[in-house]
Amino acid sequence: MVRPAAPHDPDVASGRRTAVGTAARDDPGSPTVGREARHTLQGRRHVVDVVATVVLLVLSAVESVAAAGGIVFLSMAFHSCSAPGNACDVGLGGAVVYAGPVVVALVFVTVTVACVLRLVRRRWAWPVALVGIAAQVVVFSGALLLVDSAVQHGV
């Protein structure tokens, strides 16, 4: 059932009147009654967001590979454990070296999925990618601190 157009109806003035919209507006049991549409990114803003997000995700991928490789490279710190006077917590170091790259990969995958979901919903996604880059730095710094605390050099 389509209701007649009222002269003060904003949908008629803007040319956005459709049978679906009016049927939903007329039916009080419709799930769209009382809801306003969200303002989505449109045009240039969306294109800029997609480009910025893709660039940041590519940088994040490069950073993830470097961070994972760097964490594995930290295992070389344990070669000094056989020197006299040095003490090492091999269990902690091994856990960091094996779990660190997994955490880096999990952060990257989580950020990528979050960015894709936000892009599909036409919301800003580049800040999420930027937070992901910062999270990779935090993970690598944490691994570096843990390995440094696991290796104690003697006098």
Residue 86: band (very low, low, confident or very high) from pLDDT cuts 50, 70, 90: confident
* β-bridge mates for residue 151, sequence order: 88
Position 128 pLDDT exceeds 90: yes
DSSP assignment of 12-80 equals HHHT---HHHHHHHH-TT-TTTTPPPPPPP-THHHHHHHHHHHHHHHHHHHHHHHHHHHHHHGGGGGGG
pLDDT at 39: 55
pLDDT single digits (tens) 54-67: 999 999 999 999 99
* pTM attached to this predicted model: 0.68
pLDDT at 90: 84
pLDDT at 85: 79
The CA distance from 55 to 102, in Å, is: 23
Position 36 pLDDT exceeds 70: no
